[in-house]
Structures are given as structure tokens and as C-alpha cells.
Amino acid sequence: MAGDGHEEEPEEEEVECPKPLVEEACKPQCVKALLEYQACVERVAADDSGEAHCTGQYFDYWHCIDLCAAPELFKKLK
């Protein structure tokens, strides 16, 4: 209501997060890291010791995607 000290706030436009789309666009540039991770997953599946893992390869893959995506994402910051 007008005059009661409460002004209506203008509705803000719903903003869609660009990160998933930018990351998806970067994946083709990181195929080598993805293939290394997938090869590791296959090796680990065949390992009976239970001590093998692919954490390093997983993080290498996402590091590649982050390096590609970061410049594009920072351009979109307000």
C-alpha cells in the first residue's frame, strides 16, 4: 500500500547460472584428461586390492575444465 512505509521491491529477473553450459562447452578441449580418467577407472575396476583410485585423474579432468571455463564465467560477472 502506498504511504504505509513499505515500498514494493521491483521483481528481479530470474538469472540462469551459465556455469553448466560453459563447462559443457569446455569438455571437448579436455578429452585427453577424460580419457586418462576413464582408463584409470577401468584399471581400478580390475584391481582386487581395493587401494587403487582415480582421484588424481578426476581432479586433473575438472582442473582442465575449470581453466577453460573461468575466463568466460568471469566475463559474465556483474
Range of the structural domain that residue 29 is part of: 19-75
Q: Report pLDDT for 3.
A: 54
Say what the pLDDT of residue 2 is. 52
Residue 27 lies in a domain: yes
Tell me, yes or no, whether 4 lies in a domain: no
Residue 40, domain member (yes or no): yes
In a domain? residue 11: no
Measured between alpha carbons, how far is 56 from 39 in angstroms, rounded to an integer? 13
Task: Identify the helix (H) or strand (E) that includes residue 51.
Answer: none
pLDDT of residue 35: 98
Average pLDDT, the chain: 89
pLDDT at residue 76 tops 90: no
Q: Which of 44, 41, 36 is nearest to 62 (CA)?
A: 36
Q: Measured between alpha carbons, how far is 15 from 17 in angstroms, rounded to an integer?
A: 6
Given a contact cutoff of 8 angstroms between Cβ atoms, the answer to whether 32 and 61 are in contact is no
Per the CB < 8 A criterion, the answer to whether 59 and 8 are in contact is: no
4, pLDDT greater than 60: no
Each residue's pLDDT tens digit, 40-63: 999 999 988 888 999 999 999 999
Domain count, the chain: 1
Report yes or no on 7 lying in a domain: no
Give me the CATH number covering residue 63.
1.10.287
